[in-house]
Structure 1
Amino acid sequence: MIVHASEPVTLIGGGAVGCDDLAAARALAPRVVAADSGAEAALAQGVTPEAVFGDLDSLAPAARARIPAAQVHEIPEQDTTDFDKALRHIEAPLVIGVGFCGARFDHQLAACNALVRRPGRRCLLLGPRDVTFLAPPSLSLTLEPGCPVSLFPMGAVEGRSEGLHWPIDGLTFTPDGQIGTSNRATGPVDLTLTAPKMLMMLPRAHLRTATAALLATPARW
C-alpha cells in the first residue's frame, strides 16, 4: 500500500466532478487521492492530492508539474483501469469515489467491475443521482419507507433481506438472470449475502447513511 489512512479517503477520477461532489465527499472523507487526470479536477478546486495513481496518459504536464514528484505514482500496465490502480494502493476504512460515474458508460461499467474485483477495498461511488457500492456480507441501513433500493448482481449470489418490499430470500441472482433493481424499503433494511458480487444503489441523498452503515459493518469479504 502507498496510502495508509485510519479515516475514509476521497478518490477523484477523470470524469465530471462538480464542486458539490468534492465537498460532499470531503465532508466524510477529508483526505484526497486522485486517479490520473482526476488530479486536474482536484487542483481546479484548490486541492492538491496527496497521491496520484495511473498510467498518467491523460494528466496534463502543467497539472503534473504542480504536484510534488514523490506524490505521483506512474503504473504503466494496461490490464487495469486507473481507478483499479488507485484503489488497490489505498488502505482505508472506506474510499469515496467521485468522477467515476455519469460520463462514459464504459468507464462506469469498468468502475463497477473494479468494485467486485477488489472486494477487500471498501469503496462507494458518488454519482449525479445515486451512490453505488459492493454490498458487504451483512449490512444494516436506516432508510425511510419508500426509499428506492436497487440490487444488481455482478456474478452469482444469494441472500436474505428484511425491510425490502420484495424480499430476496430464496432467489439466485445473476447478471443474465434474476436482478433486483427498482426495489424499495419498507423501513430499516438488513441484508446478508453469500458472495462479494452484489452492487447496491441508493439515492445520492443517502450518501451519509450509506457511509455510516459501511463503516459500522465489521464484516469484510
Structure 2
Amino acid sequence: MPQTLVGGAPVSTQVLKIALTHGPRVVAVDGGADTLLAAGVMPDLVVGDLDSISGTARDAYADRLHHIAEQDSTDFAKALRTSPAPFSIGVGFIGARVDHFLSVLTELARTRARVLLLGEEDCLCILPPRLSLDLDPGTRVSLWPVGPARGVSTGLEWPIEGLAFGPGTRTGTSNAATGPVTLDVEGTMALILPAAELPSLIAALTSAPRPGGVAPL
C-alpha cells in the first residue's frame, strides 16, 4: 500500500491532507509524530531513535513506537528500511533545517527509493532512467544534479541533450515545459516541480521503470 512518511519539519494541514489522499498508510519519522498528534491523525508506525518526539506523543502512540537506537543512519533511512512500500510521499522534510533536507535528498539519491517529497511550493523526486510527464506549457521544470548526469529531453523550452550536469558545474533550474515532457537521464538527478503537479508526478513515477539502488542504511 502507498504510504505517507511524516518528518519533523512544519507541515500544513492542507499538505498533510493531500499526502494522505495518495498514501493512506502513515509512518511518523521521529518528531513527525507530534505533527500527526496535532492533526489528530493516528500513525500506523512511529520510527526513529525517538530523540525528537515529545512525551505526549510518545504516550499517545506507545503501542506503535519502533525505537532504533543506532546513530549510523538518519531517522529517514530507518523509516525506509523498516517500512518499505511500493510508493511513498514524504512531508515534513522540505523546509526547516537545510541539513536535514539535504540528508534526506542524499538518502534518496543513494537508494533510488520510490519516494516523492512534497512541500508547500514544490514536489520532487530522484529521476528514474526514463520519465514521461503530462505537463501544461509553461510549467516550471527544474533539474538538480546530485552527481554527474546527462540526458536527453523532449518538451522542454531548453533541451538538455549534450549538457554535462554536476553539483559543481551545471544545474538545470527554472526550465519550462512546452507541453508533455520526456526525460531520459543517466546519472543522479533530482526533478523539482510545482506542488500542484503532484498528481502528474505520481502518475509518471508509478508507471516508470524502477531504477536500481542500494538498501537504506
**Would you call these one fold, judging by a TM-score over 0.5?**
yes
Asked if 1 retains the 8 angstrom alpha-carbon contact of 2:129 and 2:209, the reply is no
Asked if 2 retains the 8 angstrom alpha-carbon contact of 1:37 and 1:59, the reply is yes
Aligned to 1:62: 56
Does residue 144 of structure 1 match 2:113?
Answer: no
Aligned to 1:179: 171
Q: What's the offset of the Cα at 1:102?
A: 1.4
Does residue 192 of structure 1 match 2:184?
Answer: yes
Aligned to 1:106: 99
Asked if 2 retains the 8 angstrom alpha-carbon contact of 1:54 and 1:73, the reply is yes
Distance (whole Å) between structure 2 residues aligned to residue 112 and residue 150 of structure 1: 15
How does 1:61-80 map onto structure 2 within 5 Å?
61-69=55-63, 71-80=64-73
Secondary structure at 1:213 match in 2: helix
How does 1:27-106 map onto structure 2 within 5 Å?
27-69=21-63, 71-106=64-99
Distance (whole Å) between structure 2 residues aligned to residue 149 and residue 131 of structure 1: 11
Q: What's the offset of the Cα at 1:112?
A: 1.1
Cα distance per residue 1:144-165 (max 9 Å; x no partner): 1110000000101111111111
Cα distance per residue 1:68-126 (max 9 Å; x no partner): 43x2111122232211211222222211000111111221111211111221x200110
Q: Which runs of 4+ in 1 moved over 3 A?
A: none
Q: Select the residue among 198, 205, 210 that pairs with 2:196.
A: 205
Q: Select the residue among 151, 176, 181 that pairs with 1:159.
A: 151
Counterpart amino acid of 1:203? P
Counterpart amino acid of 2:29? A
Does residue 22 of structure 1 match 2:16?
Answer: yes
Distance (whole Å) between structure 2 residues aligned to residue 104 and residue 166 of structure 1: 32
Asked if 1 retains the 8 angstrom alpha-carbon contact of 2:128 and 2:211, the reply is yes
Which stretch of structure 1 is more off in the superposition, 31-40 or 100-109? 100-109
Secondary structure at 1:44 match in 2: helix
Q: What's the offset of the Cα at 1:218?
A: 2.9
Q: Select the residue among 97, 121, 127 that pairs with 2:119.
A: 127
Asked if 2 retains the 8 angstrom alpha-carbon contact of 1:154 and 1:198, the reply is yes
TM-score after normalising by structure 2: 0.94
Secondary structure at 1:152 match in 2: strand
Distance (whole Å) between structure 2 residues aligned to residue 155 and residue 113 of structure 1: 10
Secondary structure at 1:154 match in 2: strand
Secondary structure at 2:72 match in 1: coil
Q: What's the offset of the Cα at 1:177?
A: 0.4
Identical-residue share of aligned pairs (%):
50
Distance (whole Å) between structure 1 residues aligned to residue 72 and residue 179 of structure 2: 42
Counterpart amino acid of 2:83? I
RMSD after superposition: 1.2
